[in-house]
Amino acid sequence: MKLRLFPQEPAGLRLLSQMARKILEATGTLSEILGAPVTEHGRLVEELHGHESKSTELHFALLTHMRTSFINPLPREDMYALSRFLNEAMEKLDAAGELVALYKLDRLPKRAADQLEIISRQAELTVEAMGRLDDLDELEDYWIEILRLAKRAERSHRIWVAEMYRDMKAAQYARHRDIANQLVDVTKDMRRVATQVGSIIVKEA
């Protein structure tokens, strides 16, 4: 028997799914930044800022929705935590793109693209999962896969940092390390989303 809290997807779950989709869109924009000449950075960073602003709007829309709705699909503290983690992931993605532009970096190691690939996959899975929070039996695989991807990202980050330390001068290392840290922190925020979902699954079992 499926554990279904509500028969249809409420507005709050749609807002969470839209926030995850914004992360997916922002990951695409950041990928463009990594492959673009410095002269294109300004335009693309503004596009990235737009994704971040929309995520913040969705976050506050969800808070308003929770305050004004008599029934919510999940406890308010769980919905708030999911929304906060998603918005924080977006803020870090935005910061990573801005740092690339501020440092005028026209080339990053392949490991940056590898991290974005992981973030993109995490976001894809989360878009789907946020819309299915009323059917928790279907979400255990999501929880496990996001954790697996996060561990992969952390291993890649450690190798990336070691390679930078070996191959770069101090100033260059510091700039690239800033971006590497932002990207791995995005994967950690996505892991927090999945861990919160895991907590919900356990509580509702």
Mean pLDDT of the chain: 90
Return d(Cα 89, Cα 50) in angstroms, integer: 15
Convert the pLDDT of each residue in 18-77 to its tens digit: 999 999 999 999 999 998 999 999 999 999 999 999 999 999 999 998 888 766 667 889
Return d(Cα 60, Cα 67) in angstroms, integer: 11
**Cα R_g (the chain), whole angstroms:** 18
Q: Cβ distance 62 to 16 under 8 Å? A: yes
Q: Is the pTM of this model over 0.95?
A: no
> For the residues 170-175, what does the mean pLDDT come to?
95
Convert the pLDDT of each residue in 95-139 to its tens digit: 999 999 999 998 898 999 999 999 999 999 999 999 888 777 778
CA separation, residue 42 to residues 36, 54, 55 (Å): 10, 19, 20
Return d(Cα 146, Cα 141) in angstroms, integer: 9
What band does 2 get if pLDDT is binned at 50, 70 and 90?
A: very low
Cβ-proximal residues to 79 (8 Å cutoff; 6+ apart), any chain: 12, 16, 62, 66, 72, 73
Q: Cβ distance 118 to 152 under 8 Å? A: yes
